[in-house]
Amino acid sequence: MSSAPTAFVAALRDELAGVLGLLPDERRQVVAGREFWVGHLHGQEVVVTLSGIGKVAAATTAALLTDRFRARRIVFTGVAGGLGPGVRVGDVVLARSLLQHDMDASPLFPRHEVPGYDRSRFETDGHLADALEQACMRMLGTLPQRLDTAAVVAYGLHAPRLHQGLLVSGDRFVATTAESQALQNELPEALAVEMEGAAFAQVCHDFGVPLAVVRTISDRADDDAHVDFPR
Ligand code: ADE
């Protein structure tokens, strides 16, 4: 690889299939059991990979992207479970900060604080998030013309909105209304929950690499999540 690429990452292949389909010249490399596709997108050097599910798999992937593949910035995408009121299936959540909702070294440290970092929240990169905000607004603005009506009805979609703020991550697929409610009570600002973003944010903080995380809402992290997520 000649210079520092932009990295695009998702947990699952389905979440990144569209991006992979756009790379005309990707070369596949396998490192630590992960596939990395190195190539060009719109003339820019990119590296695309799947993190796998959960914070440990995500942290390994983030470290490889920064140290081995020399990523100069990272965009993480995929789906998330909506938590905040009004964050509905089909909406988009752009993270401005991330937190590990299952981090708990209390009473030694405050709940959610990452020991050694003196903080619970890790910010995403302002410039990268602003650029993604513009891209999301353009995409959502033209979506009504592109959404096929059968899909709108079948998936119970509406006019999708962009939400920005706190995204929380943990090593649990949140699939009960009780757990979702408990998370909302504990972290009222949390817009959505997923399983990798905050791990990426901590590793990117360590390496000084700009990160953005943008997720589409697949479910409401409630008793129907196991049905809505695969749909
Ligand atoms: N990703 C998408 N939906 C999720 C959920 N309900 N819990 C955790 N991660 C998710």
| CA dihedral over 186, 171, 190, 105, signed as positive or negative | positive
Residue with tokens 């390994």: 60
Q: What is the pLDDT of residues 88-146, one digit of tens each?
A: 999 999 999 999 999 999 999 999 999 999 999 999 999 999 999 999 999 888 877 77
Classified as helix, coil or strand, 111 is coil
Ligand 1 centre distance from Cα of residue 209 (Å): 25
**What class has domain 6-228?**
alpha beta
Q: Where are the beta strands (DSSP E) in the chain?
A: 6-10, 27-31, 34-41, 44-50, 73-82, 92-100, 121-123, 162-169, 190-194, 211-219
Within a 13 Å sphere around the CA of 116, how many CA atoms are in the beta-carbon half? 4
Q: Residues 56, 73: contact at Cβ < 8 Å? A: no
> Looking at the predicted structure, is the pLDDT value of residue 23 above 90?
no
Classified as helix, coil or strand, 212 is strand
Largest Cα span, the chain:
53
The pLDDT, as a whole number, for residue 2 is 53
Q: Is 222 a catalytic residue?
A: no
The preferred substitution site among 219, 222, 223, 228 for testing ligand 1, maximizing ligand atoms within 8 Å of CB, is 219
Q: Which two tokens stand for residue 17?
A: 């299939």
> Looking at the predicted structure, is the pLDDT value of residue 80 above 50?
yes
**C-beta of 174 in contact with ligand 1 (< 6 A):** yes
**C-beta of 194 in contact with ligand 1 (< 6 A):** yes
What is the Rg, in whole angstroms, of the alpha carbon atoms belonging to the chain? 17
**C-beta of 195 in contact with ligand 1 (< 6 A):** yes
Q: Tell me what the mean pLDDT of segment 186-203 comes to.
A: 98
Q: What is the pLDDT of residues 148-161, one digit of tens each?
A: 777 777 777 778 89
The pLDDT, as a whole number, for residue 116 is 96
Ligand 1: which atom is nearest the Cα of residue 221? 6
The pLDDT, as a whole number, for residue 163 is 98
Mean model confidence pLDDT for the chain = 94
Ligand 1: which atom is nearest the Cα of residue 180? 6
Q: Which of 113, 194, 196, 219 is catalytic?
A: 219
The pLDDT, as a whole number, for residue 122 is 98
Q: Name the residue with higher pLDDT: 48 or 158.
A: 48
The pLDDT, as a whole number, for residue 1 is 45
Q: Is 102 a catalytic residue?
A: no
Q: Tell me what the mean pLDDT of segment 150-173 comes to.
A: 88
The pLDDT, as a whole number, for residue 39 is 94
Residues 58 and 61: their CA atoms lie apart, in Å, by 5
